[in-house]
Amino acid sequence: MDIIQYTQEHRIFRDAVKKFLTREVIPHIEEWEEAGIVPRDVWKKMGAQGYLGMSVPEDYGGPAADFLYEVIVIEELARTNFTGLAARLHNTVVLPYLIEYGSEEQKHRYLPGCISGDIITAIGMTEPNTGSDLAAIRTTAVEDGDEFVINGQKTFISNGINCDLIVLVARDPAVVDPHRALDLFLVEAGTPGFEKGRNLKKIGWHSQDTAELFFSDCRIPRSNRLGEKGTGFRKMMEMLQQERLVVAIGAQVIAEFLLENTIAYCRERTVFGRPISRFQNSQFEFAEMATEIELGRTFIDKMIVEHMEGRDLTREVSMAKYWITDMAGRVADRCLQLHGGYGYCEEYPIARAWRDVRIMRIYAGSNEIMKVIIARTLGL
């Protein structure tokens, strides 16, 4: 019995997403990888099909769909073996901050554009000297009358070039307690004092516009703060469960894709007069990978259901984020080895997957941080 009970409507939706990605994304992957960015019109096409902001309430123009619709988009995007279109970040990481903590005015101002694809979002947490240690953020937001004045720098920001709106984490330098000093702010692209830096050159994720962002005496209205003063750290902790779950879902699907793709390759590729798939070593490799992938799928599906039930999954999500991303990395490496020299050539899907999957062990909290969290839940 399947752990997740998808309805007929879910299955129809999945088929539609697959067809959309086959038509509008897959034919252009190489072009976008070369350009280092995904064109904005793709976001508008996704919005027109209803694939953005699916969890947004009806009052703000959304369908108020359940989380399984988000899961479907995450999974089908991952199956394209393409990481440039960071719609899962937009849908399941950034928009929940607006939905949960935004004022009525903020929701009405921004959410309709986020649904249509006219507003692309990003989240500004990481800084040059601050990654997983969010309490050490240095970017400041100082109250000045009816405004906040923001100064600081962010880096490794996905959607950083294309973004129209950023949920920015900044601290009040007058507050000593680092956990009470942080707040979240909405900053629009084009605001004086807000500058986008270079599109970072990375080992993988070549078409994802990952950027540096700079804030120099950037003034925003007081009304652009999300929620009450001093609650930013708590908000981030509340949202990290879903963010890390989403990363684990993506890694799981990549591992599944790689296994399927490599089995197909090894059935066709012959060595010493017979297919690679007929050699015992290859069969042992596939058996071991298939076992780990099945364990990952069972674990991730169970957590999806429990997350939808509103359970606190801090420990379980940390386990999934570290173990499944580690597992996907192992699968990518073993699958590349089974491809032989061809696996190291760009014309084969394994090459892009092998380099793209590596970052998943680092972002959304490094896997070492996940292990620290797990250890704390064990009373250590």
- Tens digit of each residue's pLDDT, the chain (380 residues): 689 999 999 999 999 999 999 999 999 999 999 999 999 999 999 999 999 999 999 999 999 999 999 999 999 999 999 999 999 999 999 999 999 999 999 999 999 999 999 999 999 999 998 877 788 899 999 999 999 999 999 999 999 999 999 999 999 999 999 899 999 999 999 999 999 999 999 999 999 999 999 999 999 999 999 999 999 999 999 999 999 999 999 999 999 999 999 999 999 999 999 999 999 999 999 999 999 999 999 999 999 999 999 999 999 999 999 999 999 999 999 999 999 999 999 999 999 999 999 999 999 999 999 999 999 999 99
288 part of the active site? no
Using DSSP, state whether 164 is helix, strand or coil.
coil
Q: What is the model's pLDDT at position 134?
A: 83
Instruction: Give which of 351, 357, 348 is closest to 265, Cα–Cα.
Output: 348
12-15 contacts: CB < 8 A, separation 24 or more? 13/69, 13/72, 14/72, 14/75, 14/76
**Neighbour-count burial of 313, counting CB atoms closer than 10 A to its CB (0-12 exposed, 13-18 middle, 19+ buried):** buried
Q: What is the model's pLDDT at position 317?
A: 97
How many whole angstroms separate alpha carbon 36 and alpha carbon 194? 22
Q: What is the model's pLDDT at position 60?
A: 97
Could you tell me how far CA 232 lies from the centroid of its own chain? 20
Q: What is the model's pLDDT at position 135?
A: 82
How many whole angstroms separate alpha carbon 275 and alpha carbon 338? 12
Q: What is the model's pLDDT at position 131?
A: 73
What type of residue sits at position 15? D
Q: What is the model's pLDDT at position 91?
A: 98
Query: CA angle, corner 67, sides to 63 and 69, nearest 5?
Result: 65
How many whole angstroms separate alpha carbon 72 and alpha carbon 227? 30
Query: pTM of this prediction?
Result: 0.96
Annotated active-site residue in 70, 75, 243, 285: 243
| List of domains in the chain | 8-119 (1.10.540.10), 123-229 (2.40.110.10), 233-377 (1.20.140.10)
Phi-psi region of 156 (alpha: psi -120 to 50; beta: other; left: phi over 0): left
| Mode of pairing for the β-strands spanning 165-171 and 270-271 | unpaired
Q: What is the model's pLDDT at position 114?
A: 98
Q: What is the model's pLDDT at position 132?
A: 74
